[in-house]
Structure 1
Amino acid sequence: MREKLLSQNYCIFTGNLSAYSNKAQHFAFGFQSPSQMMLMRISQSFCLDAIHNISACNIEILYSFITRHSDTGKGSPVAYMITNDHSHNLDSKVKLDASYTSEQLGKYKYELKANLKNILIESDENEFLRKIQEFRLCIQSQQQFLAYFKRKWIGTEELLRRWGRPYVANDHQRYLTNNYMESWHNQLKTIYFGHTCIRRLDCLVFILTNDVEFFYNEEVERIYIQNGQMDDMLPFIIINPFNEIGNSMEDFNGKWTVKSFTDETQWYQVNVPNNLIQNCTCLNFASRQILCKHAHLLKRFIGLDFAYTVQRENNHLQLQRSLASEHEVAVVNEEVENETNTVVVNSRNNSVWLQRIIAQNTTLHYQREDLEQLIDVPGIDEAELQVISDLLGEAMNCIDTLRNANSFHFRNLNTQR
């Protein structure tokens, strides 16, 4: 494993565990890829993440050095170290005499950690320095630990600026949280490990040096070539009545312009009176008199209803009111019953005419091809075409009148189950 990584220009480093541990089975193995080394050189702030139980043995720990990538804006690992050494003791400990009870020891330890935590989270510089001085006075009796605290943490201004919150620049405020670490931890165990336990450490190294490395490099490459998620196309194919792209207007009434889905040069106008989408100038609406995809697209964009939907809603409400008023009258006699039977017989006789109308409408549907061919025929009398158009329009109006008069037999689109 070490030889293969070295052949790929990886930086390999091992810890000298024998200097402070007598256990021969302890090991530490760290590595960096060339791209990680380049990113680490230009970074100033880092997060350290420790992931436990990464293998079937449940004793190895994976330490990850994480920084924010300037291109992706996300946390990116820049170094790894795998070890089975769990020791975390300081070289200088706090020592108390045997006169302390276990309860007093616990209280002393709690107060000590609370004071250190208050120092770490303090963002005001004066208050930060004051709390450090108070902490030094609290541990005056611990000369060995106090010397360690001065040497490693507060000895110079440079040491204070390394970890003090008041000295953290605005660009590095994100590092004060664990967002980068938790995101990396979650991705590693869910995406790359697939919620499974890694049984061999060489498998872990393979995942880190191949899968993870490939993903982060591809993410940077994707940003460089601007191959990202597509933006919303609706604002660029719809023009409002003021000839502006977008819907930043309070009054939606007027003629909206919608771009064709197939022809880049073709635009259609959708009429919107009284905040209701009524019709479109495309051939589909002209031939079928049914709201087309351009009208549906505009509905999705501005959130208005169709005119025929509101009309059906009103007809349905009027029908419900009329039925309610009819139920209030409970007078039924034989004359009314006979008249009702007569009406039913007449309605059955009218079904013959309905069949003829349906057959004629079907014939008109098949004659559409003939009409489309007539477009290329010159010299057709416009007066005859106008008469045909008027007759067809009158027929459609009559059908709409019959439908509205008997709307209770039609299901409402909003109440259909």
Structure 2
Amino acid sequence: MGKLFGTDGVRGIANEELTPELAFKLGRCGATVLAKGRRGARVVVGRDTRISGDMLEAALVAGICSVGGRALKVGIVPTPAVAWLTRALGADAGVVISASHNPVADNGIKFFSSTGFKLPDSIEDEIERLVLNERDDLPRPTGSAVGRVEAVKAAEEYINHVCSTATRGLKGLKVVLDVAHGAAYKIAPEVFRRLGAEVFVLNNAPDGTNINVGCGSTCPQALAEAVRHHAAHVGLAFDGDADRVIAVDAEGQVVDGDAIMAILALYLHHEGRLPGGRVVVTVMSNYGLHQVLTGAGLVVHQTQVGDRYVLEEMLRTGAVLGGEQSGHIILLEHNTTGDGLITGVQLLQVMVARGTTLRKLADVMPRLPQVLVNVPVEDKERAMNDPQLLAEIAAARERLAGRGRVLVRPSGTEPLLRLMAEGPDEGELRAILERLEQRVRRLGSKEVVS
């Protein structure tokens, strides 16, 4: 992985790390590489609701046009909409400006290939090499060869696609949606209303600065209260770019990505739509998910955390379902990347098909207690190589040997170490993580609530 591209594109504080100048270069170099040097490349450009989106979009689009590309601006749409529209519109590439669930000060730029998939490391490395090259040798067309900008009203096409993945209507279901003041604030309610559900919406008034603030998939408490208040059957919480979803049942209990994966896997397997019975999970997936999947005769493939790694393993093994506890779930039958709206629609399809509640569906998965803590660090590599921290981790793993596990990993998108302990006794897990936190804090960190 290079200096610019992380596990999910280029991320940073907007106008400080991710500057308009960098966005211009990324547009210029990305359009060149993805069009394989051919002028006139068509590039779909979408964004979320962050205040910095306008600024970065203007710079990115200018870069695309500076090498003769045509920028197809689709406006504020979910990240998975950009992936799907790139293919649907026959574009050479797609770019989304978003930092997903991160705070408003952050932003990001992520590319998709003409097939709608995230770029492999080799292509990102090629773009990065051009961006960091002090000599800009790329073409600068003039006159009629300069690129153009085209505003494309494509949200309707994506809405139609999401609705087309449903084989059953949702009439009779009460659904509460938390759209996190983000990219799905218009599209998500429209999808579920068209499918016949009675829809109540939370956090759908973006002002450029309130995206993800106390809401969305990382903060489902208000959604749980709203589900109980409206006597709804289910609640769905999306993050800022709607590539992930977390559910809440009628009792207000959270149903995370692991439980959603279990529900979808068992249903798809029963319907004969899970080739080879293969499912891809990550090292953070609860052991209960492994138990229910293997108990049903399914084959579980495990990867490191990050939806790009989940996707790589899916493509390698031929799996059509993969995902993460955070709610990033990829259903290759319907899209090439994690899609919160499609996942939500498919989850409700199972409820309707089975004629049962989300709670009964989720209860199929036994859950081992799991404690997660995020600890900010200035230097993730230094922290991960600290001898005393490594000794503490080894001691913790020995303590839980045969009964549970401990995982410490650097975040791929934020300056954090993520600590996880899983086992039969939650009190013991918290004691273990407290010792690990203390060591990390000695490295100059402060604890944050996970």
With the shorter chain as reference, the TM-score category is under 0.3
Q: Highest CA radius of gyration, 1 or 2? A: 1
Q: Which has the higher strand share?
A: 2
- Superposition TM-score, scaled by structure 1 size: 0.19
Considering Cα pairs closer than 8 Å and 6+ residues apart, tell me whether 1 or 2 has the greater RCO. Answer: 2
Q: Which has the higher helix share?
A: 1
- Superposition TM-score, scaled by structure 2 size: 0.18
